Amino acid sequence: MTTANPARMRKPTLALVGATGAVGTVMRQILSTRADVWGEIRLVASARSAGRLLDVRGEQVVVQALSPEVFDGVDVAMFDVPDDISAQWAPIAAAKGVVVVDNSGSFRMDPDVPLVVPEVNPDAVRNRPKGIIANPNCTTLTMMDALGACTAGGSSPSSSSRPTRLPPAPASPGSTVSTTSSRSSAATASSARRPATSGGRSSTSSVPSRRSPHRWR
């Protein structure tokens, strides 16, 4: 069970919403490797899981049912729940002054919700009219760092070391691309230039195209 730890009293309080799920379980593991960042970590899930004990940072913490009150005193909430639950509850948490980081697909296309990849546009978190921050889905995220390097000039602190334009297209299939970024490749350059396609919750093309005019390029 969690007990008050004076060393954590002044650190921000985190609510992990969806703590029992697949993503929430990985989140708890990651949080356990960053023991000094947060003060209290509140674990939240559905009423079905209320009262369960789950491990985070080597401590057993009681799972709380999602309710407005569960956000009292919370600074940041990570939402790892189905889309409809995020759509309903993220605004409730944000209305209480909580900074919501939503991992679902509910807010990715909302122009008032920054779509943030920390390695690409970290400064975008500062402009969050709804108090909510979104991120691309997991398959898209695997490409974002490489594509961010190809389309640099954005807000990443390391962007000065990245190329400011896309490298030239390969002359023929199988040829390689010369670039100043060691992480770029012919494959990623090709992907970055691929025409936009639709479909899925968050297509690869939708991420840069929605933000690119003033944030990425």
> Binding residues for ligand NAP, per CB under 6 A?
18-24, 45-46, 48-49, 66, 80-83, 85, 103-105, 135, 137-138, 141
Residue nearest to ligand NAP (CB): 21
Min CB(86)–ligand NAP separation in Å: 6
Residue closer to ligand NAP (CB basis): 38 or 79: 79
Q: How far is the CB of 44 from ligand NAP (least distance, A)?
A: 7
CB nearer to ligand NAP: pick between 32 and 190: 32
User: Which is nearest to 104 in space by CA: 25, 33, 50, 24?
Assistant: 24
Tell the smallest beta-carbon distance from residue 27 to ligand NAP (Å): 9
At a CB cut-off of 8 Å and minimum separation 6, what does 206 contact?
Answer: 108, 109, 196, 198
Contact of 17 with 71, CB cutoff 8 Å: no
Query: What is the rounded CA–CA span in Å between residue 113 and residue 100?
Result: 10
Nearer residue to ligand NAP within complex by CB, 45 or 192: 45
Contact 66, 51 (CB under 8 A): no
Nearer to ligand NAP, 49 or 188 (CB): 49
Least gap, CB of 48 to ligand NAP (angstroms): 4
CA pair distance 105, 133, nearest whole angstrom: 11
| Residue 38 identity | W
Q: How far apart are CA 83 and CA 178, in angstroms?
A: 41
Buried b (16+ CB within 10 A) or exposed e, 5-29: eeebeeeebbbbbbbbbebbeebbe
Q: Are 21 and 81 in contact (CB under 8 A)?
A: yes
Least Å distance, CB 200 to ligand NAP, is 11
Residue nearer to ligand NAP on the CB measure, 62 or 169: 62
Q: Which is nearer to ligand NAP, 79 or 216 (CB)?
A: 79
Nearest to 202 by CA among 126, 108, 132, 125: 108
Taking the complex as a whole, the smallest distance from the CB of residue 59 to ligand NAP amounts, in Å, to 18
